[in-house]
Structure 1
Amino acid sequence: MPAEFAAHDACWMLWPQRPDTWRLGAKPAQQAFVDVATAVSESETVIVGVNDDQYENARYQLPDHIRVVELSSNDAWMRDVGPTFVTHPQHGLAMIDWEFNAWGGLKGGLYFPWDKDRRIRTKIAEMLGVPRFEAGVVLEGGAIHVDGEGTLITTEECLLNPNRNPGMSRTDMERILSAQLGIDKVIWLPRGCYLDETDGHVDNLCCFVAPAEVALSWCDDSSDPQYVICREALEVLEKASDARGRRLNVHRLPQPGPLYIGEDESSGIDRLSSSHPRQPGDRMAASYINFYIGNSVVVMPLLDPAHDDEAREVIQRLFPERRIIGVNAREILLGGGNIHCITQQQPRAPLNVG
């Protein structure tokens, strides 16, 4: 599995419309998705999958150079329902097809059913004409980050959660990750961000920005539960080495907020018994780590005027050769994730395929 900071051929997204996730019929969220797609498209081809009943609306709202394809889904989290792409120097591009149970199935999952989401990987494999390998385990793309050189980072809270793969040990999961992704070492962080409804996806807490370089969401408020979480992660990272024996350089990225759902924001969401409740005053798992690394840009969420500029400066230092584009992303956060969660990179296939 190539690193996200390696070259891409495309970025895949889905179109939001689910009214029990996205407020006001998803209209504010759709604008945010348009902004993200437009920003990423400065760097690479963007393909947006849309349910049939929203095809014309999406085609009208998205710029002409962004591809819009009919690709049915239950919701719009392409990072988690889309494929994990892998490459081979002789055989080119392929994808891993993990099982998906909406972040916990009937034991804490965020909605039901998820039947359309489970077919997305098969459909994309058909569209691209690439091999698809069924992994046989539940895993979402946001639960892992790799350096492209044999190292994977994840959280125990998510990958070892009994609502994903009951009874699976760290050793069992490491064996599967090695076989499917070609990695040699897993760095296990204890848990993800506070109240992250994905059960602790690593892409909201920590990510690789270069070989042996990681960014970590950071909180200096000792009264905030996130304070302990990020220090637990830092302790692991500072003691860890990657698959090539290098010690990790950890860059701290300030945490926004804390941010909470407003009364007006909550009132615009449909209430269904089969979906995750979003109540006024609920804290959201806000993080600047949830950015997308494109070929020539980094698209980051703007979440908190008190911290946006500082976060942008840190990200610019981490990616001096890329242009940093900030997108107002509160509407995406209200749905439970952010920019990294709604995007999935398609790596550039090797040139010497034969």
Structure 2
Amino acid sequence: MTTPVADGFHMPAEWAPHARCWMAWPVRAESFPNGLEAARQAYAAVAKAIAGFEPVTMLCPDGALADVSLACGAGVSVLPMPTSDSWVRDNGPSFVIDGRGGVAGVHWGFNAWGGNYSDFQADTQVGRLILESQGLKRYAAPLIMEGGSFHVDGEGTLLTTEECLLNPNRNPHLTKAEIEAHLAAHLGVRQFIWLNKGYEQDETDGHIDEIAAFVKPGTVLTMVTDDKDDPNYPIFQDNLARLRAARDAAGRELEIVTLRTPARQEQDGVRLTLSYTNFYMANGGIVMPQFEDPADTEAVSLFRRLFPDRKILPVPALDIVRGGGGIHCITQQQPAGQPA
């Protein structure tokens, strides 16, 4: 069976032009301790914000089309599709391009973040169904993988964590070298930057989008804390050291931009992963999270300096984070182009 790279495809960076953004309406009540209604209002706010920059398609249950359309507004289209959960970054496809205007998709295996939930069967088909809805070629990857577990720069570099990709609850039969080989064949990457761990108590087992993100070629934004008593302090310091020692696929040293975390908040005794790297880069804009914390102001100011050519749109995100993720986790960009 062929692979995307064998057919001339690679995954572009998130700043490449988009055809649309994909999202999925919250349906799992147990994921959101403040209730589904609060989560749905937060998702709708993100969808409306992104729709100001590019088309948004919201997946939703067949019987909820009218309610979801009303909640999200005229700028957001709705598509009936069964889902078990609402984190389309993780259960949806990763899109690849061929450099000639063609687009296809990689459909990863999915097991609910290493078995966090038992009823995830519908989510195993979301990648296939999204690609079929767009008439895009599907490459079924032989990996359990979530899109939030890696970032690419579109130039051959992939950023990830050992805590997630090497976790025995994902692909216990594969070595690190074998995982790299599969990712190289499906995403067109050749340089891997492995950080160690993610946030304390992160139920995704260290998704990269909670701690670091490429913001332009050769530049990584990463979270830090100055509090040496914070359990995240040694984690973030180790990640910083690894980033400083790393080189990208072009052989460049990375420019590292740091941003401090907000104050600790908890939900039922579990720390929330309050991260500004969990943002969505839209066509001409950035939709970024706000956490009702003084650090929000610093983050918005930094984003305006990092992205001078994009409109920065802050959106309240606590009711998303309480479910276990952030704005990046609930969105997936589809690059501009036509079916290859």
Structure 2 residue 323 is the aligned partner of structure 1 residue 335: yes
Q: Is the 8 A contact 2:161 2:198 kept in 1?
A: yes
- Per the alignment, residue 31 of structure 1 pairs with 41
Report the TM-score, using the length of structure 1 for normalisation.
Answer: 0.91
- Per the alignment, residue 228 of structure 1 pairs with 234
- Per the alignment, residue 301 of structure 1 pairs with 289
How far apart, CA to CA, are the structure 2 residues paired with 1:304 and 1:168? 42
Alignment counterpart, residue 83 of structure 1, candidates 93, 110, 132: 93
- Per the alignment, residue 32 of structure 2 pairs with 22
Structure 2 residue 226 is the aligned partner of structure 1 residue 216: no
SS for the counterpart of 1:20 is helix
How far apart, CA to CA, are the structure 2 residues paired with 1:213 and 1:91? 26
Q: Which amino acid aligns with 2:269?
A: G
Q: Which amino acid aligns with 2:312?
A: I
Q: How does 1:134-149 map to 2 (within 5 A)?
A: 134-149=140-155
CA spacing shift, 1:309–1:91, aligned 2, 3 Å: closer
Report the TM-score, using the length of structure 2 for normalisation.
Answer: 0.94
Q: Which amino acid aligns with 2:310?
A: R
Structure 2 residue 294 is the aligned partner of structure 1 residue 322: no
Q: Is the 8 A contact 1:17 1:25 kept in 2?
A: no
Structure 2 residue 113 is the aligned partner of structure 1 residue 103: yes
Return the offset for 1:91.
6.7
Return the offset for 1:317.
1.2
How far apart, CA to CA, are the structure 1 residues paired with 2:292 and 2:218? 29
Q: Which amino acid aligns with 1:203?
A: D
SS for the counterpart of 1:60 is helix
How far apart, CA to CA, are the structure 1 residues paired with 2:286 and 2:22? 15
Deviations 1:236-273 (A, max 9, x none): 11011100101100000111121112xxxxxxxxxxxx
How far apart, CA to CA, are the structure 2 residues paired with 1:80 and 1:222? 32
Q: Which amino acid aligns with 1:348?
A: A
- Per the alignment, residue 121 of structure 1 pairs with 127
How far apart, CA to CA, are the structure 2 residues paired with 1:304 and 1:24? 16
How far apart, CA to CA, are the structure 2 residues paired with 1:306 and 1:74? 35
Name the Cα RMSD after superposition.
Answer: 1.3
SS for the counterpart of 1:191 is coil
Q: Is the 8 A contact 2:101 2:337 kept in 1?
A: no
- Per the alignment, residue 58 of structure 2 pairs with 48
Q: Which amino acid aligns with 2:47?
A: A
Q: Is the 8 A contact 2:22 2:331 kept in 1?
A: yes
Deviations 1:131-176 (A, max 9, x none): 0001111000000100000000000000010000003222111111
SS for the counterpart of 1:103 is helix
Structure 2 residue 280 is the aligned partner of structure 1 residue 292: yes
Q: Which amino acid aligns with 1:76?
A: S
Deviates more, 1:141-150 or 1:50-59: 50-59
- Per the alignment, residue 10 of structure 1 pairs with 20
Provide the identity percentage.
Answer: 43
Q: Is the 8 A contact 2:142 2:182 kept in 1?
A: no
SS for the counterpart of 1:324 is strand
Q: Which amino acid aligns with 2:291?
A: L
Return the offset for 1:71.
1.2
Q: Is the 8 A contact 1:237 1:250 kept in 2?
A: yes
**What stretches of structure 1 move > 6 A for 4+ residues in a row?**
none
Q: Which runs of 5+ in 1 are unaligned?
A: 262-279
Q: Which amino acid aligns with 2:153?
A: D
- Per the alignment, residue 6 of structure 2 pairs with none
